[in-house]
Amino acid sequence: MVPKNEYAPYFEQYLQLVNQEKSIVENLVASQNDFEQTLSNIDTSKHNFAYDKGKWTLKELIQHTIDTERVFIYRALCFARNDKTDLPGFDQDIFTQNDNANQREFDELLNEMKVVRESSIALFKSFSDEAFQRIGVASNNKMSVRALGYLFSGHQIHHLNIVKERYL
C-alpha cells in the first residue's frame, strides 16, 4: 500500500480503485486493457455524447485521460530523477476547452491513449526501487513516484466507471 504521506488526500479516490497488491505495471496494463475493450465497443452515435450540459463528451473524456497522464508522467520522471523543482498544477478545464477532441476521430484518440500508456509502462519499468520512493512537489502537494504510478490506473478506472454509469 502506498502510505498516505506520499500523496495529497484528493488522490485517495483514485488510489482506492487499484489493486496495490499488484505492481504498478500490472495495474497499468490491466486498466488500459479494460479501457480499450470497453470504449472500442461503444456505438459511434455516442462518441460526441455528453450525459448532461457542461459535461464532457466521450472524446473529451479520452483526451482528458491522455492529457492528465502526460502531465503526471512528466511529474513522475522529474521526481524519479530527483529533480527538486516544484512543478505547477494544470487546469483540466482549460485543457479541455482547447483540446479539439470533438473534431478528432474516436479510434485515433483510443490509439493515442494506448501509445501514451505504453510509454508510461516503459518509463515505470525503467525506475529503480529507490526512484519509486522519491517524492517531489506538484500543485503545492507532495507526491511519490510510486503513488503517481498507481494514480494513473486509478484515474483511468475512475473515468471508465463514469463511462459505464453515464454513457452506456
Query: Hey, where are the domains in the chain?
Result: 4-167
Residue 114 has pLDDT above 90, yes or no: yes
- How many CA atoms are closer than 13 Å to the CA of 166, on its beta-carbon side? 17
If one looks up domain 4-167 in CATH, what number appears? 1.20.120.450
Give the global pTM: 0.96
Confidence of residue 83 (pLDDT cuts 50, 70, 90): very high
Question: How far is residue 13's CA from residue 1's CA, in Å, rounded to a whole number?
Answer: 14
pLDDT at 168: 87
Average pLDDT over residues 23-52: 96
> Residue 161: enclosing H or E segment and its boundaries?
helix 145-162
